[in-house]
Amino acid sequence: MTIDSYRTLGTSGLRVSPLALGAMNFDDGSWGSAPETSFKILDHYLDAGGNFIDTANQYNGGKSEETLGEYFQKQPARRDRMVLATKFGGTLHPADPNAGGAGRKAIYTQLDESLRRLKTDYIDLYWMHQWDRHTPIEETLSTLDDLVRAGKIRAVGVSNVPAWWVGQAVGITRARGWETIAALQVEYSLLARTPEGEQFGAATALGLGITPWSPLASGVLSGKYSRAVRSVEGSSRSGYAAPSLTEETFVLLDALAEIAAAHSTTVAAISLAWVRQRSEVTSTLIGARTVDQLAANLASAAVDLTPEEITRLSALTEPNLEYPSNVIRSFATGFLQGDTTINGLSSTAFTRA
């Protein structure tokens, strides 16, 4: 596969690259990549054929969006050729209770501010960044429908939401003829597989796209750690990485290194390929602080793992899912269909021990 093997995103007509460029690292250089480096990263990604850029209003206090806006100002022809996604929900004014969340007042204000920072007239994909327990779902969905009809946004996505909320949202929008949800953004990697329990099922049943974030598990699966390198030092995300550096993870890293050697590639490329090759996944979010990091991550698009390699890696991180997924996985198939094969799925009859 190549990065310009585009896919339609869920229920929308948007064509997106299988690897999306996450811009969370873009800022003024105080934390992530300064504008000059960010521009080079964008050039490299777009020149390679990528077309899907993802950011959020709250990333680095709005600096990520501002950096993208400066880039569009320098290269305006590239704006319309990319699928630009940003998110709403995160507050930039902590003392104002209406500055964040998914209420109508907040969404209108946040969108106007994002459009100003991005120096654009419209957003191709507008994500709800987090579930807002305080706002009626109809208020959020009707507002987003109004914005699509006004031409300010082109498609709607949701991130970090319960699967029941997704089902309710899709049911409401389809029943009322409103713009529906196109895709879900979820944390997903070899070390974070709980979306397989509910979110993936909802997405499949409802025809939604999936765009995983943190596919390298905050750098744990990037290749920087091994049995010889176990400490977390000098990383802004060390607090996320450290808890995952367990014996089970080192067993996984050993397997990733072995498979990477067989493919003459990197641990990061194998980790990303495993995520990309999930049938539910449409586009995987990759981030980079340097052009070299981006190039290394883009190389994963050329890696195709064998079914045996996928099975080996999957077995090392089989998730313990919550009810009812644990029941369904443990015995439900054999309970329902006995010793038969239906639609290609074989089972053994369930018997009580």
Query: Residue 8: its pLDDT value, please?
Result: 98
Query: Residue 329: its pLDDT value, please?
Result: 75
Average pLDDT, the chain: 94
Please tell me what DSSP assigns to residue 330. Answer: I
Query: Residue 77: its pLDDT value, please?
Result: 95
Percent of all residues in the chain with a pLDDT value above 70, rounded to a whole number = 97
Token pair for 205: 């049943």
Domain coordinates in residue numbering, the chain: 7-320, 323-353
Token pair for 272: 């990303």
Banded model confidence at residue 31, pLDDT cuts 50, 70, 90: confident
Banded model confidence at residue 104, pLDDT cuts 50, 70, 90: very high
Helices of type H across the chain: 35-47, 63-74, 104-118, 137-149, 163-176, 199-206, 238-241, 247-263, 267-276, 291-298, 307-316, 325-327, 333-337
User: Is a pLDDT exceeding 70 seen at residue 342?
Assistant: yes
Contact 76, 31 (CB under 8 A): no
Among 12-16, 41-45, 172-176, 342-346, where is mean pLDDT lowest?
342-346
Query: Residue 229: its pLDDT value, please?
Result: 83
Query: Residue 182: its pLDDT value, please?
Result: 98
Place of tokens 């429908």: 145
User: How far apart, in Å, are the Cα atoms of 336 and each of 13, 47, 212, 333?
Assistant: 37, 51, 32, 5
Percent of all residues in the chain with a pLDDT value above 90, rounded to a whole number = 83
| N-terminal to C-terminal alpha carbon distance within the chain | 46
Q: For residues 128 and 122, what is the distance between their CA atoms, to the nearest angstrom?
A: 16
Banded model confidence at residue 230, pLDDT cuts 50, 70, 90: confident
The Cβ of residue 279 has, within 10 Å, a number of other Cβ atoms equal to 7
Active site amino acids: 59
Banded model confidence at residue 226, pLDDT cuts 50, 70, 90: confident
Token pair for 265: 């590639």
Query: Class for domain 7-320, per CATH?
Result: alpha beta
Q: What is the largest CA-CA distance in the chain?
A: 69
**CB contact set of 232 (below 8 Å; sequence gap of 6+):** 225, 238, 241, 242, 245
Contact 119, 156 (CB under 8 A): no
User: Is a pLDDT exceeding 70 seen at residue 353?
Assistant: no
User: For the residues 34-40, what does the mean pLDDT come to?
Assistant: 97
Between 330 and 333, name the one with better pLDDT.
333
Helices and strands (DSSP H and E) totals, the chain = 13, 12
Banded model confidence at residue 30, pLDDT cuts 50, 70, 90: confident
Between 118 and 241, name the one with better pLDDT.
118
User: For the residues 179-183, what does the mean pLDDT come to?
Assistant: 98
pTM value?
0.94
User: How far apart, in Å, are the Cα atoms of 237 and each of 42, 56, 57, 166?
Assistant: 23, 18, 20, 29
pLDDT tens for 296-318 read 999 999 999 999 999 999 999 99
| Dihedral over Cα of 146, 148, 152, 153: its sign | positive
Query: Residue 325: its pLDDT value, please?
Result: 87
Banded model confidence at residue 334, pLDDT cuts 50, 70, 90: confident
The Cβ of residue 38 has, within 10 Å, a number of other Cβ atoms equal to 25
